[in-house]
Amino acid sequence: MKKILYVDDAKSLRKLVNQVLQPHYDVIFAENGLEGLKAVEQQKFDVILSDINMPIMSGFVFLEKLRLHPNGKYTPTLMLTTEASQEMKEEGRRLGATGWIVKPFNPTKLINAIERVS
């Protein structure tokens, strides 16, 4: 079973993503980028999903640090966020994001995106 890391400070979104992904994947959760980075230091994931706007460590800082770590350097990483501007997407690409999904998301499209990149 593929292992997914989902990084998001919103408890309601973590619960929703869990309901959508749990039947198909082994899902690990982190409440901010720092927790996400600690999880990556301890294990490898098949795909990482991350919000951008979070306390302690934002998704962009997380993504930047993730790409420096051996366990995350090449891991497909999808930004799952409310941010939809072209500037934000370009910054995400520059930092190494594999893809971009705007909230609210379609559950089937989320699973399809995970399958496409993993």
Q: Give the per-residue pLDDT at 62.
A: 98
Amino acid in the structure at residue 25: Y
Pairing mode of beta strands 47-50, 77-81: parallel
Instruction: Find out whether 4 and 45 touch, Cβ atoms under 8 Å.
Output: yes
Instruction: Find out whether 30 and 10 touch, Cβ atoms under 8 Å.
Output: no
Element (H, E) at 95: helix 86-95
Confidence of residue 67 (pLDDT cuts 50, 70, 90): very high
Residue-range definition of the domain harbouring residue 36 = 3-117
Q: pLDDT above 90 covers what percent of the chain?
A: 100
**Phi, psi at residue 43, to the nearest 5°?**
-160, 165
How many independent structural domains does the chain possess? Answer: 1
**Two tokens, residue 89:** 């997407």
Q: Give the per-residue pLDDT at 58.
A: 96
Cut 0.85: pTM above it: yes
Residue 70's domain is classified under what CATH number? 3.40.50.2300
